[in-house]
A and B are shown apart, each in its own frame.
Chain A
Amino acid sequence: MKHLLSINDLSRDEAILILDTAAELARISDGPMKKLPTLRGRTIVNLFAEDSTRTRISFEAAAKRLSADVINFSAKGSSLSKGESLKDTAQTLQAMGADAVVIRHPASGAPFRLADNQWMSGAVINAGDGTHEHPSQALLDAYTMRKHLGKGAKDLAGLRVAIVGDILHSRVARSNVLLLTKLGAHVTLVAPPTLLPFGVDSWPVTVSYDLDLVIPQVDAIMMLRIQQERMHEIFFPSAREYSRYFGLNRDRVNALNPNAIIMHPGPMNRGLEITADAADSARSVIVEQVSNGVSVRMAILYLLLGGAPIEGGIN
Chain B
Amino acid sequence: MSYLLKNATMPNGSKADLAIHDSHFVPESSLPKDHQVIDLAGKQVLPGLVDLHTHLREPGFEESETVATGSLSAVRGGFTAISAMANTAPVADTAGVVEQVYRLGQAAGLCDVFPIGAVTQGLNGQTLSEIGAMADSAARVRVFSDDGKCVFDPLIMRRALEYVKKFDGVIAQHAQEPTLTQDAQMNEGEISAQLGLKGWPAVAEEAIIARDVLLAEHTKSRLHICHLTTAGGVEIIRWAKARGIQVTAEVTPHHLLLTDDYAKNYDPIFKVNPPLRLESDVLALRAGLADGTIDIVATDHAPHSSESKDCEWSVASFGMVGLETALSIVIKTMVETGAMTYADVADRLSIAPARIARYENHGQPLEIGNVANLTVVDTASNWIVDRDLMSTRSKNTPFHGFELPGVVTHTFFNGKLVFGE
Contact = CB atoms under 8 A, between A and B. Distances in A.
Interface of A: 82-84, 86-87, 105, 107-110, 112-113, 116-117, 129-133, 171, 174, 197-200, 202
7 contacts: A83-B314, A84-B315, A87-B311, A105-B312, A107-B315, A108-B314, A133-B196
A200 B193 contact: yes
Contact of A198 (B188, B310, B316): B188
Contacts of A131: 196-198
B89 interface: no
B148 interface: no
A87 B316 CA distance: 13
B312 A113 contact: yes
Contact of B189 (A82, A86, A198): A198
A109 B195 contact: yes
8 closest Cβ contacts across the A-B interface?
A83-B315, A109-B266, A132-B196, A197-B193, A107-B312, A131-B196, A199-B190, A108-B196
B261 interface: no
B421 interface: no
A131 B195 CA distance: 8
B192 A198 contact: yes
B265 to A, nearest CB: 6
A84 B313 contact: no
Contacts of A199: 189-190, 193
Nearest to B308: A84
Interface residues of B, number: 24
Contacts of A110: 266, 312
Question: Which of B189, B267, B307, B314: most chain A Cβ within 10 A?
Answer: B314
A116 B312 CA distance: 11
B266 A112 contact: yes
Given A84-B307, A86-B311, A109 B189 contact: no
Contacts of B192: 198
Given A116-B265, A198-B189, A202-B190, A107 B195 contact: no
Nearest to B196: A132
Contacts of B316: 83
A113 B311 contact: yes
Contacts of A84: 307-308, 311, 315
Contacts of B265: 112, 116
A128 to B, nearest CB: 10
A129 B315 CA distance: 14
Given A108-B266, A202-B190, A174 B196 contact: yes
A83 B196 contact: no
A174 B193 CA distance: 9
Nearest to A112: B266
B264 to A, nearest CB: 9
A96 B326 CA distance: 44
Contact of B312 (A109, A174, A200): A109
B199 interface: yes
Given A84-B307, A198-B199, A108 B313 contact: yes
A282 to B, nearest CB: 34
A171 B194 CA distance: 10
Contacts of B194: 174
Contacts of B196: 108-109, 129-133, 171, 174
B311 A109 contact: no
A103 B197 CA distance: 18
A197 B310 CA distance: 28
Nearest to B191: A199
A82 B190 contact: no
Interface in B186-220: 188-190, 192-199, 201
A82 B316 CA distance: 11
Contact of A83 (B193, B267, B311): B311
Contacts of A202: 190
